[in-house]
Structure 1
Amino acid sequence: MEPMHGEELIGEGNIEDEVLRLARKKVFSIKDTPESGLILGADTVVICEGVVLGKPQNRDNAIEMLRNLSGKMHSVLTGVVIASEDEVIEFVEKTDVEFRELPEGLINDYVDSGLAMDKAGSYGIQDRGAVFVKRIVGDFYNVMGLPVGRIWEILHERGALAV
């Protein structure tokens, strides 16, 4: 499924509640369509020093985000909603990521590559942004936007996966 057009920004409420609200909105925008079966929705944000970083608005915003993350620990929160005909499961996964000090040239090159523009916090741990990371505590895939291990556990417990 494609991301929702014009994804909403996080509001002023509790961050965990907000990422769940946005994930829930994605799920329930399609839940009652004829093809709906098991539906999964997720929304991810980065939080650094109490500031929520979503997807950058423009090049300058992406550069500012990466400068603010440079040399610091931040958290990646993903709200996940899994809905079936019988059940709705919701959770928030948190992963802590520490960045090394980022040289200005590296920040500019990364942003100019276009890789920063569609990601919360302006970086992708799965692409060239991997070099920014000094240490990670938690689910690597959560930083990519989907905590695969936890989702697998939930689906496996319910017999939805054979593996």
Structure 2
Amino acid sequence: MRPTDQKIYLASKSPRRRELLRQLGVDFELLLMRDHSGRVPDVTEALHPGEAAADYVYRVTREKADAAIQTVQVRRLPMRVILSADTTVVLGDVILGKPADQAEAIAMLRALSGKSHQVLTSVAVRRDADIWQITQTSDVTFATLPEETIRAYCAGKEPYDKAGGYGIQGYAASFIAHMAGSYTGIMGLPLFETAQLLKQAGLRLP
């Protein structure tokens, strides 16, 4: 059954996801889940002990979708399809989140330099009680990065709101010797998979 309202809620603050949804031609409204009444819990994105990367990114995305539907209900907003997503970078068995400061960003890029890692993006689309979710995985190989390149990159703003401390859509694209998977998934929203989920939820895409 198609929803009568074709606008969706985007439960994400990421400007990359906004840009990518516009690329799909999707009409959306930002749904920021922090509620001043305190009745909707924040999603902390904290890693559980022993949690695998695929389980982590899937769980956090699902928690964002659950928090989003609670936000809609608490604020008595019109019911619409909700999209949530989360991206994580994995080097071996180590999950690399968003660097807290320059020292952490430098350490992450040193660790990624000359090695292959994975980028996992999980996307959930919720319509009322129904939810569709998929996790897309890409493989990325960095060239060996000189120390001065790492420090110059981390002196700018680009690393600090991105998992793994880099953005493929920015200067860090020049670090990547090889990739296999989804470019838009590495950015934070795999468009092929996202389009399929939105269609399953009943949206009409151009």
TM-score w.r.t. the length of structure 2 is 0.73
In structure 2, relative to structure 1, the CA distance for the partners of 1:36 and 1:23 (3 Å cut) is farther
In structure 2, relative to structure 1, the CA distance for the partners of 1:158 and 1:39 (3 Å cut) is closer
Taking the aligned partners of 1:122 and 1:6, their CA distance within structure 2 comes to: 21
Taking the aligned partners of 2:153 and 2:194, their CA distance within structure 1 comes to: 30
- Pairing of 1:82-101 with structure 2 (within 5 A): 82-101=125-144
User: Do structure 1's residue 16 and structure 2's residue 59 form an aligned pair?
Assistant: no
Taking the aligned partners of 1:94 and 1:2, their CA distance within structure 2 comes to: 20
User: Do 1:42 and 1:81's aligned partners in 2 also have CA atoms closer than 8 Å?
Assistant: yes
Unaligned 5+ runs, structure 1: none
Question: Aligned to 1:29, which of 62, 67, 90?
Answer: 67
- Pairing of 1:1-150 with structure 2 (within 5 A): 1-3=11-13, 7-12=44-49, 13-32=51-70, 33=72, 34-150=77-193
SS of 2:154's partner is helix
Taking the aligned partners of 2:138 and 2:181, their CA distance within structure 1 comes to: 5
Q: Over aligned residue pairs, what C-alpha RMSD do you find?
A: 1.8
Taking the aligned partners of 2:92 and 2:128, their CA distance within structure 1 comes to: 40
Unaligned 5+ runs, structure 2: 1-10, 14-32, 34-41
Deviation of the 1:114 alpha carbon: 1.4
Identity %: 35
- List per-residue Cα deviations over 1:83-117 (Å, max 9, x = no partner): 01252011111000010111111111111011101
* Matched residue count: 163
Taking the aligned partners of 1:24 and 1:95, their CA distance within structure 2 comes to: 20
Taking the aligned partners of 1:2 and 1:98, their CA distance within structure 2 comes to: 27
Question: Aligned to 2:197, which of 154, 158, 162?
Answer: 154
Taking the aligned partners of 2:133 and 2:172, their CA distance within structure 1 comes to: 29
